[in-house]
Amino acid sequence: MSEYLMTYAEIAEERGLQVGRQEGRQEVAVNMLNMGIPLDDVARYTQLPRTYLEEKLAEVHSPALVGAEVAEEPG
């Protein structure tokens, strides 16, 4: 029976691995979006929700995040 029981440490380790994999997929997805890969392809390759990717895509195209500046006219 003990072979079926996981210790708290084993459960925590497994959860940590799951979180790490999720964060890795999210990082890859953001990089793919930055490269201009279509959202549908990113969703298919990373298996992340489209709503998450749409939010990240909006962030990628946000002027505040890409360093766009408003030029002042000399005067």
Structural domain that includes position 17:
2-56
Q: What pLDDT sits at residue 5?
A: 73
pLDDT confidence band for 60 (50 / 70 / 90): confident
Q: What is the pLDDT of residues 17-48, one digit of tens each?
A: 999 999 999 999 999 998 989 999 999 999 99
DSSP conformational letter for 6 = P
Residue of 66, 40, 35, 67 lying closest to 54 (CA atoms): 40
In a domain, 28, yes or no: yes
Residue 68 domain flag = no
Q: Is residue 50 part of a domain?
A: yes
pLDDT confidence of residue 68: 43
Residue 51 within a domain: yes
Q: Is residue 65 part of a domain?
A: no
List C-alpha distances in Å: 37 to 16, 23, 32, 52.
29, 19, 6, 15
User: Considering the domain boundaries, does residue 72 fall inside one?
Assistant: no
DSSP per-residue codes, 20-67: HHHHHHHHHHHHHHHTT--HHHHHHHH---HHHHHHHHHHHT-HHHHT
Both tokens of 72, joined, read 């002042």
pTM: 0.65
Total structural domains within the chain: 1
| 42 assigned to some structural domain | yes
